[in-house]
Chain A
Amino acid sequence: MTTQKPETAKAAEVAVGGGAANAAGATGLANVAGAPEFMPKIVAFCCYYCAYSAADLAGSLRLQYPPTIRVIEVPCSGKVDPVILLRAFEEGADGVYVAGCMEGDCHFLKGNFRAKKRVQAVKKILDQIGLGGQRLEMFNLSAAMGTRFAEIATDMTRRIEELGPSPIRPEALAARKAAAGAKEQGEVKTR
């Protein structure tokens, strides 16, 4: 039995690795003077029946939200699988969220409840492996909530900016190595 990479997983990889919205300073949220600009990469799995339409509405309303979000359309938030969420992180996403319909309004009845449970399960895995469950979230909104869509994008960007880059990013790895080296040197000096 071999495993074929799901279409959505491929989309997640493309979204994370792709060149969409890399203009530095576009968020203006974490622009601390002198600090290198951190532009989070956030993958948003958006249900076709709500969040994806809400994103359209946000566009029609000319609402501004950070270009840190890579939207992936899914037929239902219940389509989102733990493997896909993890793969997004594996490919370097700093944050991931699933946006599904309001509870009780799922087009397929229970998809958003299933997504909620899976997100909770993956949060636990992320905590165990040191990536942190806060980097993943589930949101509920309706197709009419364009403003809420922009709000979620902004809130999530802010949260990830506070958390910093994903620890698997090369710059984060280099920073940790440098910190470990400095600590070692300090220990040698004190001996």
Chain B
Amino acid sequence: MIVAEPKPIAEVAGLIKAAKHVLVVGCGECVTVCQAGGEKEVEILASALRILWKIEGKDGTIGTQTIVRQCEPEYVVELAKKLKNADCVLSLGCGVGVQFIAEAYLDKWVVPGLNTKFAGGTVKAGIWEERCGFCGDCVLHLTGGICPIIRCSKSILNGPCGGSQEGHCEVNKEISCAWQLIYDRLKGLGKLDLLDVIQPAKNWQTSRDGGPRKFVKEEAMIE
């Protein structure tokens, strides 16, 4: 899932300063799971902002709505009714959600309430960690299911580097050395021979080359 974290309330308040009627929009997917922009977080932020506006003596309204997914137009249209009276949308979706709302409602000022961080998962309640770097050319079959691109601080394909100490990364002792993890895992599986193959330099054309990426599945297209 996409993991995001809330912007400080003062920053958010600054973003909606010029607005009079704000709709805080939550997303029912990734940001609900990472507890940054789900229904509950939307209600908390809206309530906090309403109190802030009252303290500042500012007139206006702050409404709320949480849709199933902000990254799909068929759910974004559900906002139309409440947006009639709003001049600003405060999206608690990831960066994708913010853009889909902005594209759907050209006359509304859409601002982000979250900082989108990474693609990751829940390691334990309240802690989310990065797991995928969206490189576009997966190598997890070579590394025992542990991504060297994102979990190795240096994204080394033929590790470990000289900075690996007792299983920890030299960048930060709290980070496990990905190549130590890869070695331990492959050893456990009896597949250490995979490490004998030297990986050539990665072709990064599948990543950030050529601008925004697109995935087309023709059989999924209706029109």
CB of A90 within 8 Å of the partner chain: yes
Summarize B's interface: helix, strand, loop or mixed: helix
Chain B 33-77 residues near chain A, CB threshold 8 A: 39-40, 42-44, 47-52, 54-55, 57, 64-68
Partner of B51, one of A1, A2, A90: A90
A173 vs B44: C-alpha distance when bound (angstroms): 23
Summarize A's interface: helix, strand, loop or mixed: helix
Looking at chain A, what size class is its interface with the partner chain? 20 to 34
CB atoms of A1 and B67 under 8 A apart: yes
A58 vs B77: C-alpha distance when bound (angstroms): 55
Chain A 75-92 residues near chain B, CB threshold 8 A: 81-83, 86-87, 89-90
Partner of B57, one of A3, A83, A173: A173
CB atoms of B65 and A129 under 8 A apart: no
Given that A128-B10, A131-B55, A168-B51 are contacting pairs, would A1 and B44 also be in contact in the complex, using a CB cutoff of 8 Å?
no
Looking at chain B, what size class is its interface with the partner chain? 20 to 34
CB atoms of B68 and A83 under 8 A apart: no
Given that A3-B64, A128-B8, A128-B10 are contacting pairs, would A89 and B44 also be in contact in the complex, using a CB cutoff of 8 Å?
no
Give A127-145 as 1s and 0s: 1 = Cβ < 8 Å from B's Cβ atoms. Answer: 0111100000000000000
Across the interface, which residues of B come within 8 angstroms of A89, CB to CB? Answer: 51
18 pairs across A/B with beta carbons < 8 Å?
Answer: A1-B28, A1-B66, A3-B42, A81-B40, A86-B44, A87-B47, A90-B50, A125-B48, A128-B8, A129-B48, A129-B51, A129-B52, A129-B55, A131-B51, A167-B54, A168-B55, A173-B57, A177-B57
**Closest 7 CB pairs between A and B?**
A168-B54, A86-B47, A129-B52, A128-B9, A83-B43, A167-B55, A1-B66
